[in-house]
């Protein structure tokens, strides 16, 4: 597992200026000191009941996990619990008390203006989320939601919401198109239209966020902003999760980041970017559950990107392709017949210049379908400006930061030097580091925003603007 120092080195190398921690790990907070990175710390669910029942316990938590670290560590928010209403409903009656007790401790230390207090919710607490204008909170939670929203309004805080179009897509039984979940462009006749407002929705993310705004308005709260505390897409899944792929994860996160950084906003609030944390910084090999549960990260534990985001014009962000060292190669273990079919398509209808693969030319050797397909796939990928979705070839291709050039065979997009790059910075931890599921407590990290993009266990905040 990367040490806190190595995690912070990764954040700094990737110019990430916001981070969300899933607890208040002391070593991590010390490592973040004097970096200027804005930090959201969290009260874990297993501590919520004690804090919600005792003002003194809450004050002690704040003293130990916040006051002890500021101002050196730039703590700007406290997330109290995580999806409490759905994951820990027996603690729901003390949730608002916990927020108020934490807030009182901040007020006593004159930190209440600097540090906001809220609690992340699963989007499933919103019922009838489409059309968004008809959305409302589950009525069984009204005794909690009304005082909670009053608290958020009175303290100038925000509604924390976890938004996962992946799960909405998976659970829709084909009703939600994949392109709609991935932010891919839709023809006008395919856009979802809210018949009550006539607002057009081109993606699931915006629809869920607006549903939250309408659900709050249903309870007469209209001035509380929404911050998305988790969103992302898994890069790998089992046989029951065929759309958990590298290409889809890259497409979703690249398009989400672009959507936030462009200040697109939502149809209900155009031009007002939604601060968003991307889940997550690292893959978690030891996490229990399905294959996809282990594969939401942008990076492996050694600091190498799982895939390289396509963020042309967005500056140096995460594993953004700022060095032009991103390539498309044949996926290891692919069916040779599928590789041959994809190779034939690339050199035919795909209009790739494949003459370097002819006998006697620089890229003829090694003369096998994997090597030739890799060249053709990459040539197409580069020709298409590395656009999301152009390195898939029915699942037999994948993106890499390792230059596949060899000898006199220089691949399109190469600078002629082989090697692995992460924005030109080596991010590998020490050789005795091991992968651990404990990484989830580290980062839902963020970028630098006024409208924020955050990455769950890596959070990019709207500060990317």
Catalytic annotation, residues: 83, 230
What angle (nearest 5°) sits at the alpha carbon of residue 317, between those of residues 27 and 70?
Answer: 30
3-class secondary structure, 380: helix
Q: Tokens 């996962």, residue? A: 164
Return d(Cα 424, Cα 416) in angstroms, integer. Answer: 15
Token pair of 344 as six digits: 């034939």
What φ, ψ does residue 78 adopt, rounded to 5°? Answer: -125, 120
Give the integer Cα–Cα distance in Å for 91 and 96.
Answer: 10
Tokens 């109290």 belong to 80
Rounded to the nearest angstrom, the gap between the alpha carbon of residue 279 and the centroid of all alpha carbons in its chain is: 4
Q: Which helix (H) or strand (E) holds 399?
A: strand 397-400
Length of the chain: 465
Longest CA–CA span in the chain (Å) reads 79
DSSP 197: T
Instruction: Quote the CA–CA distance of 314 and 215 in Å, as a whole number.
Output: 33
**Alpha-carbon gap, residue 230 to 451, rounded angstroms:** 15
Q: Which residues pair with 116 in a beta bridge?
A: 77
Number of neighbouring beta carbons within 10 Å of residue 198:
9
Q: Which long-range contacts (CB under 8 A, 24 or more apart) does 102-107 make?
A: 102/43, 102/51, 102/58, 102/61, 102/62, 102/78, 103/151, 103/155, 104/55, 104/58, 104/59, 105/58, 105/59, 105/61, 105/62, 105/63, 106/62, 106/66, 106/78
């Amino acid at each position: 597992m990367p040490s806190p120092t190595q995690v912070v080195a990764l954040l700094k190398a990737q110019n990430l200026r916001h981070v969300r921690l899933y607890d208040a790990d002391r070593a991590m907070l010390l490592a973040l000191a004097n970096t200027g990175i804005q930090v959201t710390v969290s009260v874990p669910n297993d501590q919520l009941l004690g804090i919600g029942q005792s003002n003194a316990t809450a004050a002690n938590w704040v003293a130990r996990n916040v006051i002890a670290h500021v101002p050196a560590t730039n703590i700007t928010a406290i997330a109290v619990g995580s999806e409490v209403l759905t994951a820990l409903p027996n603690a729901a009656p003390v949730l608002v008390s916990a927020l108020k007790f934490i807030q009182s401790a901040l007020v006593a230390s004159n930190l209440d203006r600097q540090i906001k207090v809220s609690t992340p919710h699963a989007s499933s607490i919103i019922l009838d989320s489409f059309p968004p204008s008809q959305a409302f909170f589950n009525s069984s939670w009204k005794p909690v939601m009304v005082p909670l929203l009053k608290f958020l309004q009175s303290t100038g805080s925000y509604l924390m919401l976890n938004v996962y179009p992946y799960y909405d897509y998976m659970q829709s039984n084909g009703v939600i198109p994949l392109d709609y979940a991935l932010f891919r462009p839709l023809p006008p006749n395919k856009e979802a239209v809210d018949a009550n407002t006539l607002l057009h929705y081109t993606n699931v993310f915006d629809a869920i966020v607006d549903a939250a705004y309408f659900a709050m308005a249903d309870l007469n709260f209209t001035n509380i902003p929404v911050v998305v505390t988790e969103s992302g897409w898994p890069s790998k899944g089992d046989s029951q999760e065929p759309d958990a792929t590298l290409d889809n994860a890259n497409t979703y996160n690249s398009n989400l980041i672009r959507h936030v950084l462009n200040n697109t906003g939502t149809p209900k609030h155009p031009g007002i970017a939604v601060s968003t944390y991307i889940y997550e910084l690292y893959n978690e090999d030891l996490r229990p559950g399905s294959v996809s549960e282990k594969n939401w990260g942008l990076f492996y534990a050694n600091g190498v990107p799982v895939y390289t985001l396509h963020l042309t014009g967005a500056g140096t962000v995460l594993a953004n392709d700022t060095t032009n060292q991103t390539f498309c190669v044949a996926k290891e273990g692919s069916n040779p017949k599928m590789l041959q079919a994809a190779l034939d398509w690339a050199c035919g209808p795909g209009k790739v210049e494949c003459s370097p693969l002819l006998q006697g030319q620089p890229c003829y050797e090694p003369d096998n379908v994997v090597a030739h397909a890799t060249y053709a796939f990459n040539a197409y990928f580069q020709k298409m400006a590395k656009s999301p979705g152009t390195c898939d070839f029915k699942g037999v291709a994948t993106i890499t930061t390792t230059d596949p050039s060899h000898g006199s065979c220089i691949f399109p997009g190469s600078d002629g030097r082989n090697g692995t790059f992460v924005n030109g910075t080596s991010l590998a931890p020490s050789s005795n580091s091991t992968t651990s599921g404990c990484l989830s407590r580290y980062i839902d990290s963020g970028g630098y925003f006024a409208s924020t993009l955050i990455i769950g266990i890596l959070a990019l905040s709207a500060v990317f603007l």
